[in-house]
Amino acid sequence: MKRLSFIIILLSLMGTNQLLAQNKATDKKIEKILQQLTLKEKLDMCHAQSKFSSKGIARLGIPELWMSDGPHGIRPEISWDSWEHAGWTNDSCTAFPALTCLAATFNPEMSYKYGKAIGEEARYRKKDILLGPGVNIYRTPLNGRNFEYMGEDPYLASKMVVPYIHGVQENGVAACVKHYVLNNQEHWRDHINVEISDRALYEIYLPAFKTAVQEGKVWSIMGAYNQFRGQYCCHNELLVNKILKQDWNFDGVLVTDWGATHDTKEAALNGLDIEMGTGTDGLTSSLKNAYDNYYMANPLQKMVESGEIDESVIDDKVRRVLRLMFRTNMNSSRPFGSMNSQEHFNVAREIAQEGIVLLKNKNKFFPIDPNTTKSIAIIGENATKIMSLGGGSSELKTIHEISPLEGIKKQFKNAQILHAMGYASGPSVYGRVVSSELNADSLKNEAIKVAANADMVLFIGGLNKNHHQDCEGDDRKQFALPFGQNELLSEILKVNKNTGVILISGNAVEMPWISKVDAIMQTWYLGSEAGNAIADILSGTVNPSGKLPFSFPVKLEDNAAHSYDEMSYPGDGVKQIYKEDILVGYRWHDTKKIKPLYAFGYGLSYTNFKLLNAKADKSTYHENDILSLTCEIENTGDTKGSEVIQVYSNDIEASVLRPLKELKAFQKVTLQAGETKTVHLKIPVKDLAFFDDSIMDWNLEKGQFKLLIGNSSQNITKSITITVE
Ligand code: BGC
């Protein structure tokens, strides 16, 4: 045994040494290239030359750098100089489920598969940087872009982001984790100045980025549009120079969000490496070759030439860009990638299946027997709406997207499937609402008629990717379901009580009808295999195991950010203050005793589980210990299923306010009917610390802590008290 560990250590040391030698060799090459570049050439590498690329150095054979949105698939090609689609015919991709769905799997293995598959597609499409994933924290259900992020908990987002990055980067494609940081709403995102305590910044909003850098070893980060303490995030001294580059040792490239640079000197000195998206589409006041006018182009050249900025500042940026290139498009052992393979569609389907969350299931409404001969009325626009379109920069042109209606028809061959749209939202157009021209009354009346004559109703509604829904550029206007869905649903319930609701959204919604429907399923935007995955769950072919990555409040005011005045959300147009501080999501609901409609971490299964014999390895720990927890989990039902064991901590003797619960570990376990497994969970004791702004560091206070074990933030079945000495 000892010999084996010795060999493992030796091998890993050899690996580390090899890596160090490789890095040294790359650094040498970088220095050699740097010596040959003119100032103009260096600056060319620090700003865009088209909507999604920056210049190479043709005379030296240094390639251009090509980027693509993410994070759910490889975006169709965009024109050189405008936001128009380029009109290529070979740029259809696999649409993977939205990141909310990935987070809902609570399964890092899914994250790796996602990253690997999307990375292969990025590589095949000759992209060097994939603009994603996003890890902004879910602060308000109105944020139009929550669907692109990984929920409200910093630990969950941290655990899920790392394997995604590894999967992508194994392909020689850089992931670009965005939007650093505090871009937690779309409304006024291009200028709003966020004020927040250091504690909330470090405990809630930074951890997923920090883990992406330190464990994920991500090669690029995208700065956010908004300001933080009066300075734009892309050239924010504290966020970029101090935290990202100095404290976290980030050796990659900081890319702006598109058009998020505002000042040449600040950008140069405060750590921005590549400027993208400054007005270049002829729609702004830009000149023809507006790229020369970028903050980091001619204006920066002048400052260097006049001696106002030292050329070494530019050299640091170019070194970073070249380092990224040696990892991506100048890496000769880069794999070739692949596109639209059956394997990729399988990955999309598997993640979709694992992320769907069963919220309510009275009288075993679901699953529905796949051999049923009953009539099923499928009502709702989302039964047929293509969701890979719209949403802003995450829009996709997918080779296929199976709608829920198609998926259900395929798997319920003997049933009589009836369908009515019920309501219509209009097309998805970026930046504005275009209403449907269909007659709302006729749609509603037809749906009620169809519902009345069916044995059961599946209402497939929710939000969509239109402006003011789940879409970039602005926020939702209301917490309630849009397009008259609540009224429609209440009419349907009058004629058919045998109704289940399937919500397709990236956000929580108000559910005034909750007690009147038998079943509710939260299915997110699921990509190419959406309908297949939904039907897999409906038919019971797959047992649901998704858990909510954010809390569903009963009403909007129950959400922390909305419990305060408008300075908290959305701000006064100039600034906003995160008044709830560290009490985001379930931290707020728990601590303030405001019961959510559905809690963080919650999700039902078609089987039942029992948690047994949970214990910690010791009762007293020291700061550098790794706490080891074991418990048994038994599948007490008659169907195979998966459960997520969640461990939250509670600091009993804290000198500062601490949330009642903070997620510290989780694990998804799959069990056959009747099977029992032992689960091992590890928590570094250091993770029990809080960020103490009086010392600007993490502080682990001695004393007693509770470890709360359960299967949602509200369903704790075992509490273990430990002492930290
Ligand atoms: C979005 C980014 C995106 C970029 C390029 C911006 O508007 O905020 O997430 O990557 O556009 O499309």
Summarised one tens digit per residue, pLDDT across range 576-602 is 999 999 999 999 999 999 999 999 999
pLDDT in tens, 235-244: 999 999 999 9
Is the pLDDT reported for residue 21 higher than 90? Answer: no
| Confidence band, pLDDT 50/70/90 cuts, at residue 157 | very high
Confidence at residue 13, expressed as pLDDT on a 0 to 100 scale:
59
Q: Full-prediction pTM beyond 0.95?
A: yes
| 149 Cβ closer than 6 Å to some ligand 1 atom | no
Concerning whether 257 is annotated as a catalytic residue, the answer is yes
| 148 Cβ closer than 6 Å to some ligand 1 atom | no
Q: What is the mean pLDDT of residues 370-376?
A: 97
Confidence at residue 81, expressed as pLDDT on a 0 to 100 scale:
85
Is the pLDDT reported for residue 131 higher than 90? Answer: yes
Pocket test of ligand 1: the residue of 127, 176, 191, 257 to mutate, having most ligand atoms within 8 Å of its CB, is: 257
CA 603 remoteness from chain centre: 19
Distance CA 588, CA 582 (A): 8
Confidence at residue 16, expressed as pLDDT on a 0 to 100 scale:
75
Buried-exposed string 672-695: b where 16+ CB fall within 10 A, e elsewhere: eeeeeeebebebebebbbbbbeee
Contact status, residue 658 vs residue 690, Cβ threshold 8 Å: yes
| 475 Cβ closer than 6 Å to some ligand 1 atom | no
Distance CA 262, CA 53 (A): 20
Distance CA 419, CA 400 (A): 21
| 178 Cβ closer than 6 Å to some ligand 1 atom | yes
- Residue located nearest, by CA, to atom 3 of ligand 1: 393
Confidence at residue 288, expressed as pLDDT on a 0 to 100 scale:
60
Q: What is the mean pLDDT of residues 362-375?
A: 97
Task: State both tokens at 317.
Answer: 């940026």
- Long-range Cβ contacts of 368-373 (<8 Å, 24+ apart): 368/412, 368/456, 368/538, 368/539, 368/540, 369/539, 369/540, 370/411, 370/412, 370/539, 370/540, 370/541, 371/414, 372/412, 372/414, 372/415, 373/414, 373/415, 373/416
pLDDT in tens, 73-125: 999 999 998 899 999 999 999 999 999 999 999 999 999 999 999 999 999 99
Rounded distance from Cα 127 to ligand 1 centre (Å): 16
Measured CA distances, 324 to 65, 74, 133, 255, 260 (Å): 10, 20, 17, 12, 21
Rounded distance from Cα 148 to ligand 1 centre (Å): 11
Tell me which of 69, 91, 257, 470 is the catalytic residue: 257
Backbone φ, ψ for residue 689 (5° rounding):
-75, 165
Question: 720: closest CA among 644, 669, 645, 649?
Answer: 649
Distance CA 562, CA 583 (A): 12
Residue bearing tokens 């120079």: 241
Confidence at residue 284, expressed as pLDDT on a 0 to 100 scale:
46
Confidence at residue 1, expressed as pLDDT on a 0 to 100 scale:
44
- Residue located nearest, by CA, to atom 4 of ligand 1: 258
Name, in order, each residue with C-beta under 8 angstroms of 308's C-beta and a sequence gap of 6 or more. Answer: 265
Helix (H) or strand (E) holding 18: helix 2-36
Pocket test of ligand 1: the residue of 50, 182, 472, 475 to mutate, having most ligand atoms within 8 Å of its CB, is: 472
Q: What percent of the chain has pLDDT over 90?
A: 94
Confidence at residue 282, expressed as pLDDT on a 0 to 100 scale:
45
Rounded distance from Cα 257 to ligand 1 centre (Å): 6
Q: E strands within 375-455? A: 375-379, 416-420, 428-429, 432-433
Name, in order, each residue with C-beta under 8 angstroms of 389's C-beta and a sequence gap of 6 or more. Answer: 395, 396, 428, 465
| 393 Cβ closer than 6 Å to some ligand 1 atom | yes
Task: State both tokens at 623.
Answer: 């700061």
How many other CB atoms are found less than 10 A from the CB of residue 506? 29
Q: What percent of the chain has pLDDT over 70?
A: 97
Q: What is the mean pLDDT of residues 709-714?
A: 98
Rounded distance from Cα 179 to ligand 1 centre (Å): 9
| 51 Cβ closer than 6 Å to some ligand 1 atom | no
Which ligand 1 atom is nearest residue 183's CA?
Answer: 8
- Residue located nearest, by CA, to atom 8 of ligand 1: 257
Confidence at residue 565, expressed as pLDDT on a 0 to 100 scale:
98
Name, in order, each residue with C-beta under 8 angstroms of 217's C-beta and a sequence gap of 6 or more. Answer: 165, 169
pLDDT in tens, 423-463: 999 999 999 999 999 999 999 999 999 999 999 999 999 99
Cα torsion angle, 406, 517, 448, 524, sign = negative
Measured CA distances, 522 to 28, 147, 317, 600 (Å): 52, 13, 44, 13
Pocket test of ligand 1: the residue of 131, 255, 430 to mutate, having most ligand atoms within 8 Å of its CB, is: 131
Is the pLDDT reported for residue 4 higher than 70? Answer: no
pLDDT in tens, 253-293: 999 999 999 999 999 999 999 999 987 654 445 556 688 88
| 186 Cβ closer than 6 Å to some ligand 1 atom | no
Confidence at residue 3, expressed as pLDDT on a 0 to 100 scale:
55
| 309 Cβ closer than 6 Å to some ligand 1 atom | no
- Residue located nearest, by CA, to atom 7 of ligand 1: 258
Sheet holding 703-712, edge to edge: 620-621, 715-724, 703-712, 641-651, 662-671
Measured CA distances, 250 to 147, 253, 380 (Å): 27, 8, 47
pLDDT in tens, 319-355: 999 999 999 999 999 999 999 999 999 999 999 999 9
Confidence at residue 14, expressed as pLDDT on a 0 to 100 scale:
61
Is the pLDDT reported for residue 570 higher than 60? Answer: yes
Confidence at residue 318, expressed as pLDDT on a 0 to 100 scale:
98
Confidence at residue 10, expressed as pLDDT on a 0 to 100 scale:
55
Is the pLDDT reported for residue 11 higher than 70? Answer: no
Is the pLDDT reported for residue 607 higher than 60? Answer: yes
Is the pLDDT reported for residue 7 higher than 70? Answer: no
Is the pLDDT reported for residue 499 higher than 50? Answer: yes
Rounded distance from Cα 94 to ligand 1 centre (Å): 20
